């Protein structure tokens, strides 16, 4: 049964906790793409290669986003003391979205471009033995030259369905991007925790989750 938490612990909203976690996904874009062969290709061609490579990867997701999104997301995570965040996972099968249960993932950023997500409730109970459920990277090699952000996600836990993982990633990227939002939730969570209205944040994420839009970066 899915459960919600009433608030995010202050020690996590201030960017502490999750010590001992590490990123276990693909760390180097060159381990996936032949960078020399990509050199003469344009952004559309590189995007096609990226999507084709991931098309038959059942536990990996390959997305392509705008370079501007990638630059903003990575700039905030790297330079504004915004290494942590929280992402709710709603029960997509619920008959009534307004009352759908949910649990929370704690998000941690690792230099230079990686995000790791783990069950917050599990972490609170046993941080030393909490394993990530999802990880993703925003590779920046083609942000400037091709205006392309290559996004690679790995679904680690079988408890998290791929479509739900996509919605989680979309929400994290949207909040780190922040241009379409009325307030900077990521900055509040990390640097101004007293201003972070958890209930309002979850309500907005709920509306996005059940909007019916196809998850995309």
List C-alpha distances in Å: 42 to 37, 61, 62, 101, 217: 11, 22, 18, 44, 20
pLDDT at 15: 43
Edge to edge, the sheet with strand 102-110 lists 60-66, 148-155, 132-139, 114-119, 102-110, 84-90
pLDDT at 126: 87
pLDDT at 30: 93
Sign of the Cα torsion 101, 22, 63, 80 reads positive
Q: Give the span between the Cα atoms of 9 and 120, in whole angstroms.
A: 10
Segments in the chain below pLDDT 50: 1-6, 9-11, 13-17
Neighbours of 121 (CB within 10 A): 15
pLDDT at 12: 52
Burial class (CB in 10 A: 0-12, 13-18, 19+), 93: exposed
Please give the angle made by the CA atoms of 11, 100 and 15, to the nearest 5 degrees.
15
List C-alpha distances in Å: 159 to 2, 63, 92, 190, 214: 12, 21, 13, 28, 21
pLDDT at 36: 95
Neighbours of 30 (CB within 10 A): 13
Q: What is the pTM of this model?
A: 0.88
pLDDT at 4: 38
Selection from 141, 179, 161, 133 nearest residue 49 by Cα:
141
Query: How close are the terminal C-alpha atoms of the chain, in Å?
Result: 29
Q: Where are the domains of the chain?
A: 42-209
């Amino acid at each position: 049964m899915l459960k919600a938490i009433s608030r995010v612990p202050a020690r996590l909203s201030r960017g502490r906790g999750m010590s001992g976690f590490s990123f276990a996904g693909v760390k180097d874009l060159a381990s996936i793409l032949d960078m020399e062969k990509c050199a003469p290709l344009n952004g559309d061609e590189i995007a096609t290669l990226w999507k084709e490579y991931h098309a038959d990867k059942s536990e990996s997701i390959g997305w392509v986003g705008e370079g501007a999104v990638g630059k903003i997301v990575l700039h905030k995570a790297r330079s504004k003391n915004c290494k942590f965040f929280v992402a709710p996972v709603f029960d997509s099968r619920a008959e009534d979205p307004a009352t759908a249960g949910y649990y929370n993932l704690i998000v941690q950023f690792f230099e230079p471009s990686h995000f790791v997500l783990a069950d917050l409730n599990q972490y609170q109970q046993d941080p030393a033995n909490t394993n990530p459920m999802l990880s993703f990277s925003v590779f920046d090699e083609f942000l400037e030259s091709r205006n392309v952000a290559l996004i690679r996600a790995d679904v680690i836990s079988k408890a998290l369905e791929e479509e739900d993982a996509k919605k989680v990633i979309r929400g994290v990227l949207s909040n780190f991007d922040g241009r379409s939002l009325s307030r900077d939730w990521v900055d509040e969570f990390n640097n101004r925790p007293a201003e972070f209205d958890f209930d309002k944040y979850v309500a907005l994420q709920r509306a996005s989750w059940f909007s019916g839009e196809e998850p995309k970066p």
